[in-house]
Chains A and B, each alone.
Chain A
Amino acid sequence: MLVDSPPEQRAETAPAPPTRRVIRGLGLLVSLVILVLVALASIAIGAKGLSPEQVWHGLFQDTGTYGDVVVDERLSRTILGLLAGAALGLSGAVLQALTRNPLADPGLLGINAGASAAVVTAITYCGVTSLTGYVWFAFLGAAAVGALVWFLGGSRGATPVRLALAGTAISAALYGYLQAVMITDDAALGRMRFWTVGSLSSATDSTILQVLPFLVVGTLLALGLARPLNAVAMGDDTAKALGANLNRTRALSMLAATVLSGAATAACGPIAFVGLMVPHVVRSFTGPDLRWILPYATILSPVLLLGADVIGRVVARPSELQVGIITALIGGPVFIFLVRRRRTAQL
């Protein structure tokens, strides 16, 4: 008996690869269903609750009734949440793989702060008002901070502490700059104090159309990087031995992460922790293979972001809490939990 039991256990815990692939594929479908449900909830729930019939009516037989107007309003918000959530989650997953650091997140590494500072500069000093105009500034800021943090802490022998500290310190400096701008300019304070928290409430169809191209390109690029990033995860030497082009992968990953988080920040303001949490949750049931992690993160991150947005609308009814606040309130404790876990400390 004793001799026989280990192989049996192994067979139970590790099913044959084809079965696992089917299960993961089904899981992806289930995630998709969850996403659709959350998206519908995001349309139905708010200051004015809508019944499922009203949502259906508004989505497919729009005749301009009161309910239809509400659905229209919330639809653009929901779509922006879907896009931005996917972008932030993917960007976090790519950054975690790229830096081989379980605590990487566009918010924690200061990339969102870089984009914010650039956007505020563009609006206040360069007179840029359209999203299409300042999204480029957002990219510039995100790329600059990304490169800086990478150079400072990420390139060789990065530890989670080093990267997180570099990112936090740079964010602190940039938020100080934002504060200085807001203090000297009352108009900027009025506009910016909502945006700098991170919110989906300003979403309109034109916002979505303006960031959509960047998000689509970024998403496709990131999804395409799954295989080379798998090689990077094995360490520089092994990856080279496997024939991976490390520098190209790194540059493309950085580009994808920058475009994704820059566009998301330009549209909704800096939202932290989505990119941190979702890849961890996903990894716990897919294992380390990025070909699974990235699609799952794309689908499940919007679930988190939209869920947080719905919570923000419910808890402070009839007013609402910005989604960036909710994600930080959920994400902060998760981050601390990850830090306290032993395995993270050893990485």
Chain B
Amino acid sequence: MKSNRVLRAPGGISLRLDVRAVTVVVVLVLAAFAASVVLIGTGDFPISAGDVVKTLAGNGNAGQEFIVNQLRLPRVLVGLLVGASLGLGGALFQAVTRNPLGSPDVLGLGQGATAGALVMIVLFSGSAAQVTVGALVGGLVTGLAIYLLAWKRGVHGYRLVLVGIGVSAIVTAVNGYLLAVSDIVDAARALVWMTGSLNGRDWDQVWPLLGLCAVLVPLVLVNARGLRMMEMGDDVSSALGVRVERVRALLMVAAVLLTATATAAAGPVSFVALTAPQLARRLTRSPGPNLLSSLCMGAALLVTADWASQRAFGADQLPVGVVTGVLGGVYLLWLLVTERRAGRI
């Protein structure tokens, strides 16, 4: 089954392609697109899939154009970008910690961003934009704190995981405090934010996300080579010429930025960062970090979950984070059981 193709260009440049991995990426991109089209068509004013595609191509009537381009497209784009960022960030974290559970939400980045947002909501009654900035700062500070606290002549996977759990507990306590001192209106607003929601997202949220992804995704993919080597352990990869600490620091920064921005845009949507890389890995059946397929999987997963939450509970009743949380929880159990059997956790 395992077939690799080698593309050779004139001038001695060659590229090895894992056919299965490429197929998975293509299929996931198509799935994400299909889910987006369906999601755009879903709502109080249903639009057929054909009309959605026509409108996206610029040939719809005025009413459809307004609904699609102004109301629903930004939400879907935020969903796709957040999902992609979380998927990629999760894959990076899992590769760096060398543990399938070492995802940013388990390590406290989600909680850190939440703390930043809660400070804005509860203490300053901040606007949506201020909450976003607060979340971004919170996530970045938490990521930095985890990295520095885990540093001891280099960062090791297990120490990163455990320090992350400790930091996560501290930040969760702070969040609990903020939630407890807030009045009930702020508490309800904070709780919706904390669950992760795509409601009411517009173009203002799309551009920063898009810009960041445009910079970070290529950067990460270029450095993925070193990451693949690092899965063999620090000593082996150093011997093979990878500057382990530098690659690790760079990729960690990228992963923290991706996760924090995604969280700032949609709230800490749980378990996407945990599940997307694992699902992608199972589909491609290849070792290594599977960065591109994780990214596509995250995007497809989040948009599908958003559609499911709208279909199952009615428009905007339950935030998408609840759906990913429940699905992710079930998946997590399965993962724990199977990974345990394989002795990989």
Contact = CB atoms under 8 A, between A and B. Distances in A.
B170 A329 contact: yes
Contact of B325 (A103, A180, A194): A180
A176 interface: yes
B176 A173 contact: no
Contacts of A322: 176-177, 180
Size range of the chain B interface in the assembly: 35 or more
B169 interface: yes
Contacts of A166: 101, 336, 345
A152 B169 contact: no
Contacts of A324: 173, 176
A345 B155 CA distance: 13
B181 interface: yes
Contacts of B113: none
B2 interface: no
A340 interface: yes
Interface stretch (B10-18, B159-167, B286-294): B159-167
Contact of A193 (B152, B167, B187): B187
Given A161-B161, A183-B192, A176 B270 contact: yes
A170 B184 CA distance: 28
Given A172-B105, A340-B152, A197 B166 contact: no
Interface string A165-180: 1101110111011011
A325 B172 CA distance: 9
B329 A189 contact: no
Contacts of B172: 328
B99 interface: yes
A335 B106 contact: no
Contacts of A18: none
A328 B332 contact: no
Interface string B96-134: 000101100110000000000000000000000000000
A332 B167 contact: yes
B187 A197 contact: no
B191 interface: yes
Closest 8 CB pairs of A and B: A328-B173, A332-B170, A173-B329, A176-B325, A197-B176, A335-B166, A336-B166, A339-B162
Interface of A: 103, 107-108, 148, 151-153, 159-162, 164-166, 168-170, 172-174, 176-177, 179-180, 182-184, 186, 189-190, 193-194, 196-197, 272-273, 319, 321-322, 324-325, 328-329, 331-333, 335-336, 339-340, 345
Given A184-B318, A339-B159, 17 more contacts: A108-B165, A148-B333, A151-B340, A152-B345, A161-B158, A165-B165, A172-B105, A172-B270, A173-B328, A176-B271, A180-B318, A183-B191, A183-B195, A183-B318, A189-B187, A339-B162, A345-B159
